Each structure stands twice: as C-alpha cells, then as structure tokens.
Amino acid sequence: MDTVTTKEFCGSKKVKRPSCDKSNDVSHVVGYFEGCARARPYENFWPEQIPVGLYTHNNFAFATIDPKTFKIKANKESDLNTYRRLMLQKKKDPELKVYLAVDRAGRDVDFANFPKFMASLKKTLGANDKGLTITLPASYWYLQHFDIKKLEKTVDFFNIMSYDLHGAWDQNAT
C-alpha cells in the first residue's frame, strides 16, 4: 500500500508503507510510570498497581541531569522511593526491564554531536550491562534534526512519542 507524504517535507513522492511479516511478534511493550503519578489529586497510582506481565519494559519518568555536577538526579526527592518501588516489581516479573527516563529539561541539544554522545554513553553503560533507548518525536518537524541511522547503531530501540500526532493544535474538520 502506498501512502502520500506531505509536500512540505517530501515533495510529491510516494513511499511504500512498511509492514512486518506475519512471523514477527511484538518484542517490546513499553510503559511509562511518572514519578508524579502518586500525587495526582484525582487518583493516586503506585507501581504495585501495574499488572504483572503487561510490559516488557517500564520507563520511570523522569530524572534530570544536575547542571553543576552532570550527575543524574531525581526530579524530586520523593521520586527515589517511587523508583525503588518500581524496581521491586522485578521480583514479581523477573523479565521486566526498568529504565530511567532522563529529561533534558529544556536544555539545548547539540544535534550534530548527539550520536557521538549516545555512543559514548552506550559504551559506558555497556560495561555495566545496561540498556539505552531514546524517545523520539513523531512529527517530522522535530524528528528531522536527529541522525536516526547513526543513533540506530547505539540504542537498543527507539520510543516514538505517538501521543504527539494529534492534539489541541489540530484544526476542527467541520
């Protein structure tokens, strides 16, 4: 099946829609657990409430990088306990991989050197048998700045922010 791309970014080219063959199955079911989920005014949510076996990977959102020490730190001190509770879920589900999502907190990204940074980070993490992923925007407008081919060599998999496909910015079709 062909799909038409936007003239703004791709001219009038048609591209073949990629598809998986029937022998492939889902290898990653990724969830995000926000540290602030425990403090929602309408309903608190704790790691223990995540159904066992639902996810292959769970990303704890978010940690940040201290701009003075360059060390990863919790957004809030209370996030540390919540993160520990999420890690304890591995006792119930030993195959679960728990990742820490690091928010760049609005800091500029040097896109030209980003693949080198990720390769260096992967090398450092690899020595400790840790995984590395990156969350990418779904919109070409933002995605165009990432060197996907170079990044693919370093990360275990990509997360796509598919919730960005539609939102308040959509025009009313009526």
> What is the enclosing helix (H) or strand (E) of 160?
strand 157-161
Whether residue 6 is contained in a domain is answered as: no
Same domain, 118 and 153: yes
Specify the residue for token string 């170079």. Answer: 150
- The answer to whether residues 36 and 98 belong to one domain is yes
pTM: 0.74
Distances (CA, A) of 139 to 22, 62, 104: 28, 22, 19
Name the domain count of the chain: 2
Say whether both 35 and 90 belong to one domain: yes
Q: Return the DSSP state at 172.
A: P
Domain C-terminal end among 55, 71, 105: 105
Q: Distance between CA 104 and CA 62 in Å, rounded?
A: 10
Asked if residue 44 and residue 28 are part of one domain, the reply reads: yes
Residues 64 and 115 both lie in one domain: no
**DSSP code of 106?**
T
- pLDDT tens for 49-70 read 999 999 999 999 999 888 899 8
- Position 2 in a domain: no
Position 56 in a domain: yes
| Residue numbers of the domain that contains 117 | 108-174
How far apart are alpha carbons 140 and 146 in whole angstroms? Answer: 10
- pLDDT tens digits along 66-100: 889 988 899 888 899 999 999 999 999 999 999 99
Please check whether residue 74 lies inside any domain of the structure: yes
Q: Which residue type does 141 have?
A: W
Helix, strand or coil, per DSSP, at residue 17: coil
Q: Same domain for 40 and 91?
A: yes
Q: Is residue 42 one of the residues assigned to a domain?
A: yes
Task: Report the Cα–Cα distance between both ends of the chain, in Å, rounded.
Answer: 28
